């Protein structure tokens, strides 16, 4: 794939010609290829997050659905204006407001789609297919609901039940998944890309090699988390001995799904597993996904330390500003502060 992309887009003349053709025909696959090559070139060899590429690919296809069919488009990619893009955002916001209808879209996804379209136009400008970027100056809609209201953590009353929830069939693996998310705060991509060797029990440490933005970090393992991971490693070794896993698959978290047994678990598979357990312990449908576990870890860390720098270090945040949301997520912290203020009067 990389060689194909390089041969197509490396030459400036060929790049412009192919980009013009892809834009004129509104070819989603070719436009995604161009954007992928552009991002790889601009990151100077650092790996672009697969999740980012997937999000941008979905954004491009959604945008092309709006601009119209390739044979008779309502909007030309080469002549798109800021007003046209505003119309796309209004169209997307209307879909978000009527999320029960087909083609449902969360309001937060509208911004994600704009980021994808903006990245596409940076790539088209770089390739020489367009002379101006219509996305400049266009802002994503803000969700009026505060982030700490929209993005909730697992309550303390449900946390222990969640960690104890894994069914006997896949208990060791699923307990490891829940611990990696709800205790250690790993992102979905970080979890599925862990290798067996990244769990360093002798050092009581977890090596996260594929963090956001290509950054690595090392997370100390508390005793309970180390025990859960040690148990899964023991079970995993038993699967290798039984021939259910091959030596070529070194991923820590593997699939038990028929036809994919022993292969690395995908982020979609990870999300399905996590959501099942969140539902089992009685949490509502709007509390789903691996990031709910990560928010839970961040909230617990802040509650225990009251130190945003510690939270940022363990979760791999570039800034403590990002970590500040966990202070608002924890109702207990705010209640304690109010009670302390009453006692101080």
Instruction: Return the CATH number at 171.
Output: 1.10.443.10
Q: What is the pLDDT of residues 272-329, one digit of tens each?
A: 999 999 999 998 887 888 999 999 999 899 888 888 899 999 999 988 888 887 777 6
Report the catalytic residues: 187, 212, 291, 294, 317, 326
Size (the chain), residues: 345
Please give the DSSP secondary-structure letter assigned to residue 317: -
Same domain, 63 and 160: no
Residue 52 forms part of a structural domain = yes
pLDDT confidence of residue 345: 55
Q: In the chain, how many domains are there? A: 2
Q: Is residue 143 very low, low, confident or very high in pLDDT (cuts 50, 70, 90)? A: low
Same domain, 46 and 62: yes
Q: What is the pLDDT of residues 67-97, one digit of tens each?
A: 988 778 889 999 898 889 888 888 887 776 5
Domain end position, chosen among 122, 144, 166: 144
Where is 217: in which H helix or E strand?
strand 217-220
Residue 302 forms part of a structural domain = no
Determine the angle formed by the axes of helices 107-127 and 12-25, rounding to 10 degrees. Answer: 140
> Looking at residues 245-273, what average pLDDT do you find?
86
**pLDDT of 105 strictly over 70:** no
Max Cα distance, the chain (Å): 73
pLDDT confidence of residue 106: 61
* Higher per-residue confidence, 137 vs 30: 30
Residue 71 forms part of a structural domain = yes
Same domain, 44 and 120: yes
Indicate if the alpha-carbon torsion angle 62, 67, 72, 78 is positive or negative: negative
Same domain, 7 and 140: yes
Same domain, 74 and 161: no
Q: What is the pLDDT of residues 10-64, one digit of tens each?
A: 888 899 999 999 999 999 999 999 999 998 888 766 667 787 888 899 999 999 9
Mean residue pLDDT across the chain: 85
Residue 26 forms part of a structural domain = yes
- Give 321's contacts (C-beta < 8 A, 6+ positions apart): none
- 244 lies in which domain range? 150-292
**pLDDT of 253 strictly over 50:** yes
- Give 101's contacts (C-beta < 8 A, 6+ positions apart): 95
pLDDT confidence of residue 44: 66
**pLDDT of 102 strictly over 50:** no
pLDDT confidence of residue 236: 93
- At 86, which CATH number? 1.10.150
Q: What are the CA-CA distances from residue 193 to residues 1, 211, 293 (Å)? A: 20, 9, 17
Same domain, 42 and 77: yes
Domain end position, chosen among 117, 144, 171: 144
pLDDT confidence of residue 74: 87
pLDDT confidence of residue 229: 97
Same domain, 163 and 54: no
212 Ramachandran zone, left/alpha/beta (phi>0; psi -120 to 50): beta
Residue 311 forms part of a structural domain = no
pLDDT confidence of residue 224: 94
* Higher per-residue confidence, 33 vs 151: 33
Rounded percentage of the chain residues whose pLDDT exceeds 90: 47
Beta bridge partners of residue 206, listed in sequence order: 199, 219
Domain end position, chosen among 113, 144, 175: 144
Residue 314 forms part of a structural domain = no
Q: Is residue 151 very low, low, confident or very high in pLDDT (cuts 50, 70, 90)? A: low
Return the number of other C-beta atoms located less than 10 Å from residue 205's C-beta: 14
Beta bridge partners of residue 217, listed in sequence order: 208
Residue 47 forms part of a structural domain = yes
Same domain, 140 and 154: no
Per mean pLDDT, which range of 31-35, 48-52, 140-144, 254-258 is the poorest? Answer: 140-144
pLDDT confidence of residue 338: 60
Same domain, 96 and 164: no
Residue 129 forms part of a structural domain = yes
Using alpha carbons, select from 234, 239, 227, 251 the residue that is nearest to residue 179: 227
Same domain, 122 and 159: no
pLDDT confidence of residue 83: 86
Same domain, 131 and 159: no
Q: What is the dihedral of CA 187, 191, 195, 198, to 10 degrees?
A: 60
Same domain, 159 and 281: yes
């Amino acid at each position: 794939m990389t060689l194909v992309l390089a041969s197509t887009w490396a030459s400036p003349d060929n790049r412009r010609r192919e980009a013009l053709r892809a834009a004129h025909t509104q070819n989603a696959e070719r436009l995604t290829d161009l954007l992928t090559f552009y991002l790889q070139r601009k990151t100077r060899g650092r790996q672009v997050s697969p999740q980012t590429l997937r999000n941008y690919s979905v954004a491009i296809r959604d945008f092309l659905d709006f601009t119209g069919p390739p044979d008779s488009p309502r909007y030309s990619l080469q002549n798109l204006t800021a007003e046209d893009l505003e119309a796309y955002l209004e169209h997307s916001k209307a879909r978000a407001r009527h999320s029960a209808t087909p083609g449902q879209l969360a309001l937060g996804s509208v911004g994600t789609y704009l980021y994808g379209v903006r990245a596409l136009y940076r790539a088209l400008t770089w390739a020489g297919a367009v002379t101006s970027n219509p996305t400049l100056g266009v802002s994503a809609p803000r969700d009026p609901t505060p982030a700490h209201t929209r993005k909730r953590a697992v309550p303390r009353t449900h946390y222990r039940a969640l960690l104890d929830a894994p069914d006997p069939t896949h208990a060791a693996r699923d307990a490891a998944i829940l611990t990696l998310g709800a205790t250690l705060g790993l992102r979905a991509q970080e979890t599925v890309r862990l290798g067996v060797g990244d769990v360093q029990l002798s050092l009581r440490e977890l090596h996260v090699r594929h963090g956001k933005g290509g950054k690595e970090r090392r997370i100390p393992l508390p005793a309970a988390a180390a025990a859960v991971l040690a148990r899964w490693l023991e079970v995993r070794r038993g699967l290798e001995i039984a021939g259910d896993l091959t030596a070529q698959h070194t991923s820590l978290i593997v699939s038990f799904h028929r036809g994919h047994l022993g292969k690395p678990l995908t982020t979609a598979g990870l999300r399905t597993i996590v959501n099942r357990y969140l539902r089992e312990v009685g949490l509502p449908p709007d509390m789903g996904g691996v990031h709910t576990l990560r928010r839970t870890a961040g909230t617990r860390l802040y509650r225990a330390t009251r130190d945003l720098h510690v939270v940022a270090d363990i979760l791999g945040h570039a800034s403590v500003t990002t970590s500040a949301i966990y202070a608002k997520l924890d109702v207990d912290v705010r209640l304690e502060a109010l009670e302390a203020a009453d006692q101080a009067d």
